[in-house]
């Protein structure tokens, strides 16, 4: 039974470490997407054309 307590406490400790690492990486900007906003304007015209085609067909 004591092994269960040990494994449970170790797993909670590992989860906390991973959560802290995730928060740290988010705050440092690792997940910031700098590529998509510059390319997004190239795809907007296609979406507008598709919407207009749907409206004209209806």
Residue 27 has pLDDT above 90, yes or no: yes
Residue 46 has pLDDT above 70, yes or no: no
Q: Give the pLDDT of residue 1.
A: 84
Handedness of CA 19, 25, 27, 29 (dihedral sign): negative
- Cα 31 to its chain centre, rounded Å, is 7
Q: Give the pLDDT of residue 42.
A: 72
Q: Tokens for 27, please give them.
A: 């705050």
Q: Give the pLDDT of residue 4.
A: 96
What pTM did the predictor assign? 0.55
């Amino acid at each position: 039974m004591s092994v269960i307590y040990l494994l449970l406490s170790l797993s909670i400790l590992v989860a906390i470490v991973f959560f802290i690492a995730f928060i740290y990486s988010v705050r440092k900007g690792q997940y910031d997407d700098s590529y998509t906003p510059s390319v997004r304007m190239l795809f907007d015209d296609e979406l507008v054309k598709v919407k207009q085609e749907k409206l004209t067909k209806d």
